[in-house]
Structure 1
Amino acid sequence: MKILFVHQNFPGQFPHLAPALAARGHDVLAMTDEGNQRPSPVRVVKYAKPPQVTTSNTLGRTYAEMAERGWLAARGARALRDRHGYAPDVIFGHSGWGETLFLREIWPEAKLLVYAELMYRTRGQDVGFDPEISPGTDEARVRTVARSAHLIQGLVQADAGLSPTRYQADSFPPELRSKLTVIHDGIDTERVRPDPAATLALPDGRVLRAGDEVLTYVSRSLEPYRGFHVVMRALPAVLAARPQAQVVLIGGDGVSYGGKPSDAESWKAKMLAEVGDRLPLDRVHFLGRVPYGTYLSTLQVSRVHCYLTYPFVLSWSLTEAMSAGCLIVGSDTEPVRELIRDGENGRLVPFHDRAALEAALIRALEGDPQAGRLKAAARATITSSYDLKRHSLPRLTEWVESFGPRA
């Protein structure tokens, strides 16, 4: 088969799947934004970087941006077709950035698959979940409807879609869910595993070791969608109760979801202004964005790992923390409940209940008598159902191959 992956930040969700299909003898090609400099495991072609879209119609801005990217991806596809005679059997693209919107017009005979990561919803998801940050106003709900158009169009046009979790698949309208298959991207449990000899060197020269009293928090960006503000407000009480504890936070100062605070340069700056004078900052370590090895060592030295999230996309960091054998204290929100069962393989607390979060973190740091059982169960959850080589990758390759011309 000729298989074309399409992702503006390739390999994105496909770092294992694309080379696995190539290793099985398929002709695998990827198309990505010309500004993407990430190393690729397969051959890559690039389409022109989209210009900044300007429009006075705020409700139409998201679709305008996605359609512009979709058109540039289609132009790149047309060049592949007309100049090089390229015709894929299967196209597999992420629908979130509009790249798949017009590919059907270039290759009408190809099977079109989309990675359907999440459908925005006006109720029961992130809109209005955290009134302090994102109140559920009529305007917010209308904006959510408007920015969902390209996601619906992308799945309607596709032959099938893939979602990584049941929660994320169920975010799509019921009439479209029959197109979706749920297969997680997979965790390399051989690499992401407990290491009793793990160490983490901090910028100040201090070295943390597995077994130390370490609280960890990881997010692509330090922002409310991942409960950063809730964690920061809990830290003064937690660190006062545990005077030997160290806190390690990984994440950038920008935003990945939602917006910046109106009264500060970043959410980190805002929260430090709010609680910094009550924190022993020599025990709170902001590492920013770090190499993967540093991130993995952080999980491996953790005594308790805190993962909070709005009802939204589930982070890879949770599944990797579980695979690393972390004791998880997570938010009692729907995407987390799909993996964590309170008292069975982790602890859950209400997202907005700071007192409950403080108590759970203090209990874990001082030595939860159930920690060993909970950590082993967390890892077993991942190895039994989310393991990359034994579960996810075989299912993913079989799913893609099922759309080939010989299927």
Structure 2
Amino acid sequence: MKILFIHQNFPGQFLHLAPALAARGHHVMALTDEKNQRASPVRVLRYKTPGALDLPPMLGRTYGEMAERGWVAARGCRALRDRHGYAPDLIFGHSGWGETLFLREIWPEAKLLVYAELMYRTRGHDVGFDPEISPGSDEARVGTVARSAHLIQGLVQADAGLSPTQYQAKSFPPELRGKLTVIHDGIDTQKVRPDPQAELALPDGRKLRAGDEVLTYVSRSLEPYRGFHRFMRALPEVLRTRPNAQVVLVGADGASYGGLPKDTPSWREKLLAELDGRLDLARIHFLGRVPYSHYLALLQVSRVHCYLTYPFVLSWSLTEAMAAGCYVVGSDTEPVRELIRDGENGRLVPFFDQPALEAALIRGLAGDPEAPRLRAAARDTIRQGYDLHGHCLPRLIDWVESFAP
């Protein structure tokens, strides 16, 4: 088949799938935003980044931005069609940025697949989940409905959609779920694995090694959606009780999903100010964003890995932490419960129960006698259901190839 991937930050979720399909003899290309300079495993073309728009406030803004990106992507595809005679058999794009919205009009005969990552919902998910940060007001719920329009349109127009977890698939309306197949992106468990010889060099030159008393936290951005505020508020008691513990955090300032605080430039600065005088800052290490090899070493030296999240998209970092054999203390929220069963392959605590979080972290750092069993079970969970080469990638290839003309 001629297969065209579309993703503004390609390869994104298609990192393994695109080259695997090319290796099977398919003609694979990708279309991405001109500003995206990530290395690509297949030939990549770029569309012009949408310019600034004079858009209406609030309700129409998201759809306007996504429709504009969709039109820019469609014009790029039209040029491929008209100037080069290109006609794909199959298009596979991420529906989150609107890039697939108008491709039916360019290639009406092509099969159209979308990566359906999450549908915004007004109740039972992230909106209003954490009243301290974002109260579930009528305005917030109305805005969420408005922001969902392009996601619904994208899936309605598609022949089928793919979601990485059951939780994320269930976020879509029942009327559309029949179009969805659930297959995780996959974790390379040969690369992401325990390493008793692992070590991580900190910026001050100190080295942490597997077996040291290390508490780790990872998020693309340090923000409430990933429980950063709950984690930071646990540290005074954790550090007081465990005087030899070192805390290492990976993640950038800023916000990937929620907003920034109104009174400080970042959530990191806000929490440090809130906890001023209560933290041993010599034992807390903010690394920002790090190369993948450093991130992997961090997971391998971790004695306790903390993963907290609102009911929202599940992070790759949780599946990779489990594959690395981490002792995970996670939030008892629906996306996490899909992977972790309390006392079987990790520890779960209620998202808002601060004493329970502190106790679970301290228990793990002190050397929970159940830790070896929980670590092994966590890795087994990923190997048995989320392994890239043994499970996920073959299923993804079969799913895509099932739409061959």
The verdict on a shared fold, with TM-score over 0.5 as the criterion, is: yes
RMSD between aligned residues: 0.5
CA distance in 2, matches of 1:390, 1:370: 28
The superposition leaves residues 77-135 of structure 1 with CA deviations (integer Å, 9 ceiling, x where unpaired) of 00000000000000000000000000010000000000000000000000000000010
CA distance in 1, matches of 2:264, 2:93: 36
Match of 1:215? 215
- Secondary structure of 1:364's match? helix
Residue 273, structure 1, aligned to residue 273, structure 2: yes
CA distance in 1, matches of 2:2, 2:56: 41
CA distance in 1, matches of 2:54, 2:368: 54
Following TM superposition, by how much is the alpha carbon of 1:57 offset from its aligned partner in structure 2, in angstroms? Answer: 3.0
Match of 1:373? 373
CA distance in 2, matches of 1:391, 1:237: 41
Match of 2:130? 130
CA distance in 1, matches of 2:54, 2:375: 50
Match of 1:111? 111
TM-score (norm 2): 1.00
CA distance in 2, matches of 1:309, 1:347: 14
Match of 1:93? 93
Report matched runs for 1:64-83 at 5 Å.
64-83=64-83
The superposition leaves residues 201-258 of structure 1 with CA deviations (integer Å, 9 ceiling, x where unpaired) of 0001100000000000000000000000000000000000000000000000011001
CA distance in 1, matches of 2:88, 2:10: 18
Report matched runs for 1:191-202 at 5 Å.
191-202=191-202
Match of 1:159? 159
Following TM superposition, by how much is the alpha carbon of 1:54 offset from its aligned partner in structure 2, in angstroms? Answer: 2.6
Report matched runs for 1:189-338 at 5 Å.
189-338=189-338
- Alignment gaps of 5+ in structure 2: none
CA distance in 1, matches of 2:12, 2:276: 36
Match of 1:350? 350
CA distance in 1, matches of 2:242, 2:58: 48
Match of 1:148? 148
- Alignment gaps of 5+ in structure 1: none
Following TM superposition, by how much is the alpha carbon of 1:136 offset from its aligned partner in structure 2, in angstroms? Answer: 0.4
- Secondary structure of 2:29's match? strand
CA distance in 2, matches of 1:99, 1:171: 21
Following TM superposition, by how much is the alpha carbon of 1:55 offset from its aligned partner in structure 2, in angstroms? Answer: 1.9
Match of 2:32? 32
- Secondary structure of 1:217's match? strand
TM-score (norm 1): 0.99
The letter for the 2-side match of 1:3 is: I
The letter for the 2-side match of 1:146 is: A
The letter for the 2-side match of 1:256 is: S
The superposition leaves residues 48-88 of structure 1 with CA deviations (integer Å, 9 ceiling, x where unpaired) of 10112232332000000000000000000000000000000
CA distance in 1, matches of 2:10, 2:402: 23
Deviant stretches of 4+, over 6 Å: none
- Secondary structure of 2:277's match? helix
- Secondary structure of 2:396's match? helix
CA distance in 2, matches of 1:13, 1:247: 30
Match of 1:49? 49
- Secondary structure of 2:63's match? helix
The letter for the 1-side match of 2:53 is: V
CA distance in 1, matches of 2:220, 2:148: 23
- Secondary structure of 1:155's match? helix
Aligned-residue identity in percent: 80
Report matched runs for 1:382-401 at 5 Å.
382-401=382-401
The letter for the 2-side match of 1:395 is: R
The letter for the 2-side match of 1:300 is: Q
CA distance in 2, matches of 1:278, 1:206: 23
CA distance in 1, matches of 2:42, 2:301: 34
- Secondary structure of 1:74's match? helix
The letter for the 2-side match of 1:59 is: L
CA distance in 1, matches of 2:261, 2:21: 43
- Secondary structure of 2:379's match? helix
- Secondary structure of 1:276's match? coil
